[in-house]
Structure 1
Amino acid sequence: MNFTDSPYSPGEVVYVIYRNPHTQDVANIQEAAVVQDPSHPGQLALFLYETYYPLSDEFAIYQSEEEAEQAYAYYFGSME
């Protein structure tokens, strides 16, 4: 996703629901940063767990931790 098509800006902090790739039944809310993709100039990426992920519609991205918690509760049940 390039800068002009994105509702996000480089440096913005967002929240994503991240599934553990090794244990698919484990999901957590994780803070991520929107950054310029170092591999694709002019594109945005999520920086999460020391890895760059191309910013795309495949991610459920939330502006606040509260929004992410509400979505988590809706899809997975209580966080506790």
Structure 2
Amino acid sequence: MMWHVIEDSSVIGTANGMAYFAAAGYSDSPGPASPHVYWWNGTGYEQLTEVSDDGTVMIRVSPGFQAVLEKVMKG
């Protein structure tokens, strides 16, 4: 399990790193694990990643997560 507190623009690089780490851990795991990264939006978890059929990991930005990103980018 990984955690990152969203405080500044470092969240962008961190989210990418977490997405690839989760996907790699999923493929290397001997038991059940999720290949996804989730964001706690204050009321529940929201899935941020998608894995395509060819294994490409993409981050999906919802309107709520976009608002958080814009807020921390402004400083």
TM over 0.5: no
More strand by share: 1
Query: Taking structure 2 as the reference length, what is the TM-score of the superposition?
Result: 0.32
Query: Taking structure 1 as the reference length, what is the TM-score of the superposition?
Result: 0.31
More helix by share: 2
